[in-house]
A and B are shown apart, each in its own frame.
Chain A
Amino acid sequence: MKFKHPISRRTLLRGAGAAMALPLLERMLPAAARAAEAASSARRLAVFYVPNGIHMPKFLPTGTGTEWELTPTLQSLAPVKQDVLVISGLANDPGKPDGDGHHAAGTAAFLTCTKAFKTEGANFHAGISMDQVIANYLARASPTRLASLELGNDAGRGIGNCDSGYACPYANNISWAGPRSPMAKETRPRAVFDRLFSSGGAISQAEAARRRAYGQSILDFVREDAQVLQRQLGVTDQRKLEEYFTGVRDLEKQVEGLDTAGPACGTAPPPGEDEDPRARTKAMMDLIVLAFQCDLTRVATFMLANARSNKVYGFLGLSGGHHAYSHHQQVQANFDALARIDRWEVEQYAYLVRRLKETLEGSGTPLLDNAMVYFSSEVEDGNAHIHKNLPILLSGRCGGAVATGRHLRLPGVPLANLYVSMFRAMGIPGVNSFGTDSTGELPGFGG
């Protein structure tokens, strides 16, 4: 392996996946200082979605405030208990469908707190998602290479209907740039890695100028094509073309931001093409940590599986599908199966939280200290499809804005209020409402 700059963040981060030790970081300074300082104390958000709800009796702590104990499902959070805020009681009423379709409607409302328009396809309509509000703000304040990173494990089966008359974009996406713009997610760790780190090594000033000029010219050309076309299209088609313009603008930012230094970090070994869901999930968590660590993005969302997933957790010794178990009908064997799945899900979340705690920013503080890592599902209970009392974990203090190490009980409070508080924590001024039912900030969020 050749190092162009022996002391660089790239060197530092070689072998990503291993936790980084502070003394090593200090030795690498000052070459890393510029990037590190810019990134240090930057606020970050990760969202971890699980489908089909959670078996709450084994999830919810009994005590509240600072007097609470980890339940069986939450055991894996023991090393980071003081960094976790458990919130119970919140309701996401906009997730209720018209008739059936609780999983798709609940998932569409998961980060948007907006009721999805019931359709199999035509005129689908949800709302902008909380992560995109944050990504937009952060990208304006201090751009990173990617404004946000959308990840998931499920590519989708691509057959039949997604959920009782609700179109598949509702079930397959939690991140929405706008009411009609779901943010497609990457489902292959290798593709994520390539996207983050394959933009080549260091280049000369002249080469960078050339690439910028060429890239810009191509974008100018195709934008002109689209503008001419737009004048000849009806409203629905114009809306589709709007997505194209957004894509061009995003590409433009990347072209403009083309750096002579190459990627700030990034010759970690790429993840394999392993199909095992355990390996894939872990790889995705590592990639989120790496993307944060290299300050390539500050917002990441992850869908452990798509809405209404009927994945078989064979490696947990279970033979039935997740969705089938979630229709537990009060049968103990189903509760047991769900608890096992929930526990595994929380373990994956805990892994992400722990990695963010172990990984230090340039300033020497754990990434987790300036971040929020949010965990929840589209429903509470998969059997009755309840959209109240959602299972919520929020880890990380976000620079002190979140008072962690507690269990906050807020029965009936809109979920959207949590997002309003999260906007505040991220430093976004002036956003006092969100979705369709927020009433203000979450009481007790900051302690």
Chain B
Amino acid sequence: MTSRIPHRGTRGWFAAAGCILLLCACKGDSPPEARVRPEVPEPPAEACQATSGDPGTVTLHRLNRAEYDATVRDLLGDTSHPARDFPTDDHGYGFDNIADVLSLSPLLMEKYAAAAEKLVEEAWVRPGATPRVCELDPTAPEPCAREILSRFARRAWRRPVTEEEVDRLLRFLPLAKQHGDPPEAGVKLALRSVLLSPHFLFRVEKDPDPSSTEPHRLTAFELASRLSYFLWSSMPDEALLQAAEQGQLGTHQELEAQVRRMLADPKAQALVANFAGQWLFTRALDSAEPDRTLYGAFNEPLRQAMRRETELVFQEFITGDHKLRDLLDAPFTYVNDPLAAHYGLPPPGTGDAFQRVDLTAHPERRGVLGHGSLLTVTSNPDRTSPVQRGVWVLEQLLCSAPPPPPPNVENLPPAVSPDMTMKERMALHRTLPQCQGCHLLMDPLGLAMENYDPIGRWRTKEVSGAPVDATGDLPDGTVLAGAEQMRRFVKDDPKLPACLTEHLLTYALGRGLSEDEQCAVREIAATAEASGGRLGDYILAIVLNDFFTSRRGGKEAQTP
């Protein structure tokens, strides 16, 4: 194999495939549109060396639902997931922790106020709960109240609090007294205020000069929060806060030690739920609805098992000694008996409990592309979708997704005969000039996965009884015969490291990346690969980069 899918925007074989300016025939009020992939020139290597390392701007970041829940868990010991009642966060750039789209509606503010009251009331009476670090003396409550509030606010606001801030919080004591309430009522009002303050609800980062585009390093506390919300979706713990206080986050060694420590902590599970869940589309399993008559084998336990498999596999990558790209063909997985049966693997004999299994004898289940979760969420309810599977690979693994289809032709063309195989139906895409440019790229990748049915079972026959033809023909004549060859093809693609970086960096910063930041992305990817290519190496390469450790102000970008 010599030919590769072109890097974002390079012309190479796309032009050869005839996808220059293909017009679609439209009716209605849509003007004819060009079906080309965006032409973004790939920066030449020498241009990349000259980049200034502008860290860009990160908008004031409201805690999303996952972050709110994890933060109150660590702050108050409350594990009841109060944010479940909050409205769903919008997402952007593939993640729901993107600051720009994390709006704060009046509805959400109302929920915050209600949650703050409930959280404080419950934490106050919970034995050993964190806010009550001393006993309030009814006659002279102030010393203890000061202790409670300064400690709590420091943790909740993830930074030292000023004397003046604590004084303001203490004003709730005389207010309570004035209404005939005991001092603890005043302290509880102050605690509620801490939880409703913008310093708690937002991850505040300041610029010395908000209008200056000159980059500057984050403060130690801002950096500590970036780190903890990246790895834990939660507030810094005491060790991290103290490291920040003692100025220990200034060196690469210290940062690296913190990252290693934090990844080893169970709280790094947040990367599974919040990063991998969105990057690998595991979250979409919730709304997957395979057709019951054709795929009745799909049920709730199986849905849960599929999700669990992908979570457990990814979890191993957090601290394990795997290269991140091995996610594509990891020679192990986790199954329980029902999932093993679904896959045609020997059941581990553990019932509903999951067991790590070796896949040496079952190469078809290696890597995420063999997971029922991904195979299900990239299918239509009633049939596989080579297009969705191809687009997933291009978008999530190679960051080379083609533009969406034009109006009027978004679905499969009507089959000429109901007996047509999937491969024959896909071939119809090539008969439509407005489709072929992009489908020449997507379809072969998906077709090579045709041995997996819409709920991820291995099959050799299509629903119609026709034998599955799991070969994808790339435009240059290369043939991908089956999922194994396709996996290797993708794994060897030089764009893979930069694409993994792009998704991880988007999540780490909570902002989208612009085209002119591709140099930095490739630089981080190269660093990560050079240090071993594990997830931890990628994370470290990001954390040590100026993108992560510094920020700048700047005027608002233009909108109409």
Contacts and interface: CB of A to CB of B under 8 A. Distances in A.
A343 B196 CA distance: 45
B113 A241 contact: no
A38 interface: no
B28 A386 contact: yes
Interface in A249-302: 250-251, 254
B87 A222 contact: no
B163 interface: no
Contacts of A183: 105-107
Interface residues of B, number: 92
B30 A96 contact: yes
Interface string A200-244: 000000000010011001100110111001001111110111011
A74 to B, nearest CB: 23
Contacts of B382: 319-320
Interface in A170-192: 172-173, 177, 180-188, 191
Contact of A184 (B108, B175, B192, B204): B108
A272 B380 CA distance: 30
A213 B175 contact: yes
Of A159, A168, A232, A384, chain B has the most CB atoms within 10 Å of the CB of A159
Nearest to B282: A159
Contacts of B477: none
B100 interface: yes
B381 interface: yes
B489 interface: no
Of B30, B105, B413, B558, chain A has the most CB atoms within 10 Å of the CB of B105
A342 interface: no
B289 A312 contact: yes
A62 interface: no
B59 A327 contact: no
A168 B91 CA distance: 6
Interface in B284-298: 284, 286-287, 289, 291-294
Contacts of B26: 384
Given A124-B101, A221-B193, A385-B28, A234 B57 contact: yes
B179 A213 contact: yes
Nearest to B199: A225
Contact of A385 (B96, B189, B193, B407): B407
A229 B210 contact: no
B281 interface: yes
A380 to B, nearest CB: 8
Contact of B556 (A217, A226, A236): A236
A5 interface: no
Given A169-B101, A233-B206, A329 B408 contact: yes
B560 A233 contact: no
Given A184-B87, A185-B87, A222 B196 contact: yes
B106 A120 contact: no
Interface string B148-169: 0000000000000000000011
A385 to B, nearest CB: 4
B201 A168 contact: no
B60 A210 contact: no
A387 interface: yes
Given A187-B87, A213-B175, A218-B193, A121 B408 contact: no
A66 interface: no
A26 to B, nearest CB: 35
A294 B517 CA distance: 54
A316 interface: no
B511 A159 contact: no
Interface stretch (A79-87, A149-157, A355-363, A424-432): A149-157
Interface in A100-119: 100-102, 115, 117
Nearest to A161: B94
Interface string B274-314: 00011001011011010111100000000000000000000
A158 B282 CA distance: 10
- Secondary structure of the B side of the interface? loop
Contacts of A177: 105-106
A213 B171 CA distance: 13
Given A164-B403, A164-B404, A319 B293 contact: yes
A259 to B, nearest CB: 17
A386 B29 contact: yes
Interface residues of A, number: 88
B531 interface: no
A1 interface: no
Interface in B360-404: 377, 380-382, 395, 403-404
B53 interface: no
Interface in A127-175: 150, 155-162, 164, 167-169, 172-173
Interface string B14-58: 000000000000111110010000000000000000000000010
Contact of B559 (A91, A117, A320, A384): A117
Nearest to A101: B404
A441 to B, nearest CB: 24
Nearest to A388: B29
Given A319-B382, A324-B380, A182 B411 contact: no
Contacts of B169: 221
Of B201, B278, B284, B410, chain A has the most CB atoms within 10 Å of the CB of B410
B110 interface: yes
A185 B99 CA distance: 19
Contacts of B211: 234-235
Contacts of B278: 158-159
B210 A233 contact: yes
Nearest to A150: B107
Contacts of B291: 312, 319
Given A213-B175, A384-B407, A120 B103 contact: no
A383 interface: yes
A181 B62 CA distance: 14
A171 to B, nearest CB: 9
B553 interface: yes
B189 A244 contact: no
Interface string B441-468: 0000000000000000000000000000
B90 A172 contact: yes
B92 interface: yes
Nearest to B88: A155
Contacts of A221: 168-169, 171-172, 193, 197
Contacts of B554: 234
B28 A222 contact: no
B74 interface: no
Given A222-B198, A229-B204, A385-B407, A184 B557 contact: no
Given A122-B511, A150-B107, A248-B109, A218 B284 contact: no
Interface of B: 26-30, 33, 57, 59-60, 62, 85, 87-94, 96, 98-101, 103-110, 112-113, 168-169, 171-172, 175, 179, 181, 189, 192-193, 196-199, 201-202, 204, 206-207, 210-211, 277-278, 281, 283-284, 286-287, 289, 291-294, 377, 380-382, 395, 403-404, 406-411, 413-414, 511-512, 553-560
**Which 4 pairs show the lowest CB-CB distances between chains A and B?**
A247-B109, A121-B92, A234-B210, A184-B87
29 contacts: A100-B406, A121-B98, A122-B511, A124-B92, A158-B283, A159-B94, A159-B284, A162-B91, A167-B100, A173-B90, A177-B105, A184-B87, A184-B105, A184-B107, A184-B108, A185-B107, A195-B110, A222-B193, A226-B197, A233-B206, A234-B211, A237-B60, A247-B110, A251-B113, A320-B380, A327-B408, A327-B409, A384-B30, A385-B28
Interface of A: 91, 93, 96, 99-102, 115, 117, 120-125, 150, 155-162, 164, 167-169, 172-173, 177, 180-188, 191, 194-195, 210, 213-214, 217-218, 221-222, 224-226, 229, 232-237, 239-241, 243-244, 246-248, 250-251, 254, 311-312, 314, 319-321, 324, 327, 329, 331, 381, 383-388
Given A167-B90, A241-B198, A243-B104, 17 more contacts: A121-B93, A158-B91, A160-B94, A168-B91, A177-B105, A183-B107, A210-B179, A235-B210, A237-B59, A244-B198, A246-B109, A312-B291, A312-B381, A319-B292, A327-B408, A329-B408, A385-B28
